[in-house]
Amino acid sequence: MVKKQQKSSRRTLSERFQEALFSLEPLRPDWGFEEELSRTGYKVICGIDDAGRGPLAGPVAAACVIFHRKLSLPGLMDSKAISSVKRDMLFEKIISSKDISFAVGMSSVEEIDALNILNATHLAMRRALESLDVQPDALLIDGNIPLRGVQCFQKTVVKGDARCRSISAASILAKVTRDRWMKECSALYPGYEFDVHKGYGTRKHFELLEKYGPCPLHRKSFAPVRRLQSQ
């Protein structure tokens, strides 16, 4: 009886181990959220995501994407889960498709410092929405915080950039747009290597920030930058 119980216990542990391994696999975005809203009666469904909330420098970007029909776009995933080469390839496919409407909005460093990062991110999202050539009647927004200041229906999706096709495509546009902007700024402030770390708080960025102090691209309201300014 004891041996049978031990065998059963081992089998249970093995099953749990397999479940844990499965949970580590990257999520693949699908059309489930868009299809759910379509069944409810919404016609123009827009995915929204942002890039650049965490960095110590540079703007925050947000993108809106509307698929007018289902497209395959092989390799489409959360922008953070794929290489820069794949992001660039997907970026070009998205912006060149006649079956996709899109727009990108940004909030400056000054706006981030004045409004805080959440409010500045929402401002960038609204700017992107206002720039669309067709207005949506439903929004799918990455995260768990609704977008303030809009009237149409919206649904927040936790880890939406890894689960929802429209949000995933928006994450690609926001990330690539912001990364390219930071690369251009690297020529203005070459000592900070913005083309390498894109403003994120890497070890090298912290070393350069300690060495040269903050530049106009740094977010003065963020603690590491604010601390250096006060020294």
**CATH label of the domain that carries residue 44:** 3.30.420.10
Q: Are residues 48 and 104 in the same domain?
A: yes
The answer to whether residue 26 is domain-embedded is no
Question: For residue 56, with 0-12 CB atoms within 10 Å meaning exposed, 13-18 middle and 19 or more buried, which class applies?
Answer: buried
3-state helix, strand, coil in the chain (%, to 5): 50, 15, 30
Residues 210 and 179 in one domain: no
The model's pTM is 0.87
Domain residues for the domain of 213 are 188-229
Asked if residue 24 belongs to a domain, the reply is no
pLDDT at 159: 95
Mean pLDDT of 119-136: 97
* Mean pLDDT, residues 179-207 taken together: 96
Provide the pairing of β-strand 45-51 with 60-67: antiparallel
The total number of structural domains that make up the chain: 2
End-to-end CA distance of the chain: 71
- Quick one: pLDDT at residue 4? 46
Q: Between residues 77 and 47, which one has the greater pLDDT? A: 47
